[in-house]
Amino acid sequence: MKLADCPVRAALDAIGGKWKPVILFHLMLGRKRYGELQRLIPEASQKVLTQQLRELEQDDIILRKVLPGIPTKVEYSLTPYGDTLRPVLQELCQWGEKRVKNT
């Protein structure tokens, strides 16, 4: 099998990255504004957080909604396609919880 044909590679190309799974975890719990995501993921620089949000939006995994008002506020949520990741993310969370308990 060619690397380009590997389904795991395709999945990681879409959701891989230092902060993408963490972003998706938080959005799985509900809509978040950009500032909320910054507070929830303080280790992520503004540049990297913005970049990874853009990539997730380009892959139709998250929706970026600009809310009217001054200052402009931006809200992120999972798209219906992104919501199909929910079972995967839940399993990943359970696996991570077990790992934390065993270390």
pTM (two decimals): 0.87
**How many domains does the chain fold into?**
1
3 pLDDT band, cuts 50/70/90, is: low
Which has the higher per-residue pLDDT, 78 or 103? 78
Which residue range(s) make up the domain with 23?
3-102
CATH number, domain of 10, equals 1.10.10.10
Q: For 12-54, how does the pLDDT look when each residue is reduced to its tens digit (9 = 90+)?
A: 888 888 899 999 999 999 999 999 999 999 999 999 999 999 9
Using CA atoms, how far residue 36 sits from 30, 39, 103, in Å, is: 11, 5, 30
Q: What are the start-end ranges of the E strands in 4-102?
A: 32-33, 62-67, 73-78
